[in-house]
Structure 1
Amino acid sequence: MTPPLPLPAECPIAYRFSAISGTGSDTRRGEEGRERGEGGEREGGDRALPGGYIESVELDPFVERFALTTSRVVADHLATGVSVGDLADSAGYSPFHFSRLFAKVFRTTPARYVAAMRFHRAKELLLEHDFPVIDVCHEVGFNSVSTFSRRFSQAVAVAPGELRVVADHLADSEIQPFTLGSLASGTVTGRVVFDDGVRARLRDDLVHREPLVWIGAYPQPVPLGRPVSGVLRRGQGEFLLPVTPAAPWVLATAYAASTDPMHQLAAFKPLVAMHPGPVRPGDAIRLEFREAMSWEHPVLTALPSLARG
């Protein structure tokens, strides 16, 4: 049996594993999470997430190792599927205690993360190759094309075949700033901030034209599915974002205006920002961008498609 990942003496990110799960040494194994449906996820089987997400910057070495190890196991089993029990076994913990820590670090459930990584890989295959949708479906572990297409559309906000149409449109024309949603529902004011590292990555665009910045309001703290509202703007500065109680999580990504369609729609380690807690109308926030870590939840939404309504 794989030994549990060791705990550091102190965890500066506010949560030690024992504080999350009640114990750091429970290695009981159950069948919880082993049932999986099409594509490796039990539909309707996810629990409500606990509060207090761990910030994904300057992680404690234990948490970073946990995240990297878990994401690698997921990446190695995209085609065959991996359950919560399998992931818990790889870390040396019970499914219950593993899921508690996972939710704190990844801001979603294990089943939803596995599905997100599958759909991100499907986006890469659709954009890099001319494979039929049915081949992509099977490559990422789905047996039913209809199930794959339905869930892909929910996660990415466009159908698998339409993603290529969006890419062709981006290759022919440049997307223009726009607002998604009504300002009458209430707004959040904010400021986009780039540090030296982000400015270095966007250097060419900062000289010739401002990079594109997408800011969206989501029902959950991960960029999954169609946002309820959003703003596409250029560069740093202030913004006004429509918000509703149904979508209190503000997530953002930025890329050079000259970026090719592949990297706009399926970027690896994109520039991202997130407000650490849910927002309400009238709030003022600051979004500081950074490069996403390799294990973080991918930006699944095909954001350029939202400009077409």
Structure 2
Amino acid sequence: MQDQLSEPVTIDDLARTVNFSKFHFARIFRRVTGISPRHFLSAMRMEEAKRLLVTTSMTVAEISHRVGYTSVGAFTSRFGANVGLSPTLYRRFKGRAPHIGEDDSYAGGESATVDVALCPPCGARLGVTFVGLFANQILEGRPVRCGIVRQAGSCRLENVPLGRWYVLAAAIDGQHGPVTDPAELAGRQEYVAAHGPFDIRSADSTLTATVRLRPRRLTDPPVILALLDTPQGATR
């Protein structure tokens, strides 16, 4: 996939490389990664676009074509929806977000509370860890609810709408302090965690989720949402 980001790759093409039928390949792929091959490929394209925006002087149009988009407008729209910032703002903020907004389409109605306990890897020194509730097993788009945790700790997500959700968490290696050079961001170790899916069916209930961060693997979906800049960054 990584070598074909600029090409119109199909699921048939991917399945053919491993001698699987399209349906068997898609089923195994989702079982391993948590999302479909098409979704994973789209996420890889966004991940590469993010990298190019902060490490090169390429224009947005050049980057959109480099990652397989024939329409700059379609690329810009998809990037903004998935990353949380437009390509121009993502470059201006050097690959980090000043705040992360929640999906306000879930405002009102019955809700519950989710307490999230974060377990970092042994010996790891993390920066700010983002924790959010998502409908899919990938960190992209606006979270249903979100919060931040510093090193080991916990956060409470309130007013969580009823439904089926994943708790997802992400952080970068903080051993060398805050990231000041955008090019350095791409070289830092990413840590991720997932819990779920789980169903929230009762209003005014409180659920507890324990998430254990680990280094991100090649089979983990890329972290597409732009994460917070500093511990002073805000969620809303």
Give me the TM-score of the superposition, normalised by structure 2: 0.82
Deviation at 1:262, TM superposition (A): 3.5
Structure 1, residues 70-94: CA drift from partner, whole Å, max 9, x if none?
A: xxxx101001131100010011111
Q: Does the CA contact (< 8 Å) of 1:268 and 1:294 recur in 2?
A: no
Q: Of the candidates 54, 69, 75, which is equivalent to residue 127 of structure 1? A: 54
The answer (yes or no) to whether the contact 2:52–2:63 under 8 Å persists in 1 is yes
> 2: distance between equivalents of 1:300 and 1:145?
19
Q: Which has the higher contact order (CA 8 A, sep 6+)?
A: 2
Describe the shift of the 1:304–1:195 C-alpha distance in structure 2 as closer, same or farther (beyond 3 A). closer
The one of 14, 39, 42 equivalent to 1:112 is 39
The alignment partner of 2:9 has SS state of coil
Q: CA deviation at 1:274?
A: 0.9
Once the two structures are superposed, residues 195-248 of structure 1 have per-residue CA deviations (whole angstroms, 9 ceiling, x without a partner) of 32xx24x2xx6xxxxx31110111111112111210012121222113223561
* Contact persistence 2:120–2:213 (CA under 8 A): yes
What is the distance in 2 between the residues matched to 1:138 and 1:246? 38
* Correspondence for 1:155: 82
Residue matched to 1:292: 216
Q: Is residue 139 of structure 2 the alignment partner of residue 219 of structure 1?
A: no
Q: Secondary structure at the match of 1:100?
A: helix
2:218 match: secondary structure: coil
Distance verdict in 2 for CA 1:298–1:233, change over 3 Å: same
Residues 234/261 of structure 1: CA separation in 2 closer, same or farther (3 Å cut): farther
- Unaligned 5+ segments in structure 1 are 1-73, 206-210
The Cα of 1:252 is off from its aligned counterpart by 0.2
Pairwise CA RMSD of aligned residues? 2.9
When structure 1 is superposed on structure 2, of 104-113 and 248-257 the one drifting more is 248-257
Of 239, 249, 252, the residue aligned with 2:169 is 252
Going from structure 1 to structure 2, the CA distance change for 1:291 and 1:162 (only over 3 Å counts) comes to same
Q: Hey, what does 1:195 align to over in structure 2?
A: 121
Secondary structure in 1 matching 2:234: helix
Shift of 1:308: 7.1
Q: How many residues align?
A: 221
Distance 2:47 2:188 in 1: 10
Larger radius of gyration: 1
In 1, are the aligned partners of 2:95 and 2:226 still within 8 Å (CA)?
A: no
Contact in 2 for aligned 1:156/1:302 (Cα 8 Å): yes
In structure 2, distance between residues paired with 1:268 and 1:160: 21
Q: Which amino acid aligns with 1:258?
A: P
Q: Runs of 4+ in structure 1 displaced over 4 angstroms?
A: 178-184, 263-269
Distance 1:286 1:122 in 2: 32
Normalized per residue, the structure richer in helix is 1
- Decide which of 301, 304, 308 is 2:225's aligned counterpart: 301
**Whole-Å separation in 1 of the counterparts to 2:198 and 2:186:** 26
Q: Is the 8 A contact 1:271 1:290 kept in 2?
A: yes
AA in 1 matched with 2:115: T
